[in-house]
Structure formats: C-alpha cells, structure tokens
Amino acid sequence: MERIINYLIKLQANRIIKQAGKTLPLDKITPFDILIEPLKYAGLAEGLINLPVPETITIDKNVLNVPKDMPELAKNICYGQKLFMTTSEDIDLGIILRVIEGYYFTQVRGTWNESESIEFGATIILLPAVILYPVANHINNLLKELISREDKLLSRDPSPEEKAAGIEKLSKFAELSAMNFLIEQFRETQEQVLLRPY
C-alpha cells in the first residue's frame, strides 16, 4: 500500500491538471487513473479482467510475451519472483502491480531484485488498463495453478500428533520452512536461493 501512495504523490498533480473534467478513451485509461478517480471509473476493473488476454505486453519499449501456460510461467521465474508474486495485498490494484512487477521485472531490468521491482511499479501503473488488467488476471490464474501443483507435489496429511499440536496454524510459515530447506539442500545463501530458477 505504501508504494502505491508514493506513486500517487509523484504522479497525481500533473495528471489531475491534464485530465481535469475530461473522460479518457478506454484505451488511454491507466490503473493510476482508476485509482485517483474511483467514482468516475467505478466497476471498470471488473470488466477489464474479462477482456481477451493479448499475446504481448509492451513495457519500457520492450515487447514481451505473455506466458501461455503454467509451465511457461514457471520456466521464466526464479524462486524469489514466485514468493514476491504470491505475497498478499490489501487492494486489487496492489495484486495487479505485484503480479506484473514480479513476472516482468527480470525481462526488462535484469537480475531479480525485490526492492527494485517495487520501484518498477511506477512504470507499470501507467500502462493501459485494457492490456494490464487481463494480463495480470491471466498470470494470477497461472500462479494459482502453479501453487496448486506445488501443494499436490509437496504436501502430505498431518499426523494425528501434528493435528493435536495444532500444525495447521503453522501453515503460514510454510514458505519460511521451504526457504530453510532449500538453503540447506543447495548449501547457498538466502539471496542465492531466491535467484534460483523456479
């Protein structure tokens, strides 16, 4: 939420002056516009996610492919990106930014870096919503499929002793446990593990 507020502070004055009283054409509306004028664009986001998913998206003059399926998504991300993209957000725009930042950062800027990817959001928030929303929704659905596959492959039913001890309350720490396992398994630092291909 804090990064979204920072984007607003940097962009709001200039955009409001330019747009005062104007209704933008659909292909010119950005997530930023939807955020600063929620009443004007109420309900638009729900319709945008149902638009057809384009084959490519342009970010910083880079024409990038949209992943077609879950294996392609998994092939193009590292473990750190997966953790970043699956972190919860308070608002829908936060989810959209996080998914796009997480997936496309390495393709536009290079090696994965979580703090730099958050700054990358200042570029993402100004992309056309008619492209961004369906792409983000598609990637989010692929992430759900990826997590489901991961759960099937790695999960097991807790033993009666674990249930009695309340192990289901510890499931929120599963990512931390997985990270510790990978650090030990590969004998690498946390930073090195986060950069490993997913």
- What is the reported pTM? 0.73
Residues 6 or more apart in contact with residue 174 via CB below 8 angstroms: none
Helix (H) and strand (E) counts in the chain? 11, 2
Tracing tokens 């998914």 back to the chain, one arrives at: 99
What integer pLDDT is reported at residue 124 of this predicted model? 94
How confident is the model over 154-181, as pLDDT tens digits? 555 555 665 565 555 545 445 655 666 5
How confident is the model over 75-115, as pLDDT tens digits? 999 888 998 999 989 888 899 999 999 999 999 999 999 99
The proportion of the chain whose per-residue pLDDT surpasses 70, expressed as a percent, equals: 67
State how far Cα 196 lies from the chain centre.
18
Residue 44's Cβ-side half-sphere holds a number of Cα atoms within 13 Å equal to 23
- Is residue 27 one of the residues assigned to a domain? yes
The three-class DSSP label of residue 58 is: strand
- Is residue 177 one of the residues assigned to a domain? no
Read off the pLDDT of each residue in 22-31 and give the average, rounded to a whole number: 85
Task: Give ∠ CA 90-93-98 in degrees, rounded to 5.
Answer: 85
Nearest to 194 by CA among 69, 184, 185, 183: 183
Handedness of CA 60, 64, 68, 71 (dihedral sign): negative
- Orientation angle between helical segments 92-109 and 2-19, nearest 10 degrees: 90
Handedness of CA 84, 88, 90, 93 (dihedral sign): positive
- Domain span holding position 56: 2-156
pLDDT at 118 over 70: yes
Read off the pLDDT of each residue in 39-55 and give the average, rounded to a whole number: 89
| The total number of structural domains that make up the chain | 1
Q: Which residues of 172-193 are buried (b: 16+ CB within 10 A; e: fewer)?
A: eeeeeeebeebeeeeeeeeeeb
- Is residue 113 one of the residues assigned to a domain? yes
What integer pLDDT is reported at residue 34 of this predicted model? 87
- Is residue 93 one of the residues assigned to a domain? yes
Per-residue pLDDT band for 64 (boundaries 50, 70, 90) equals very high
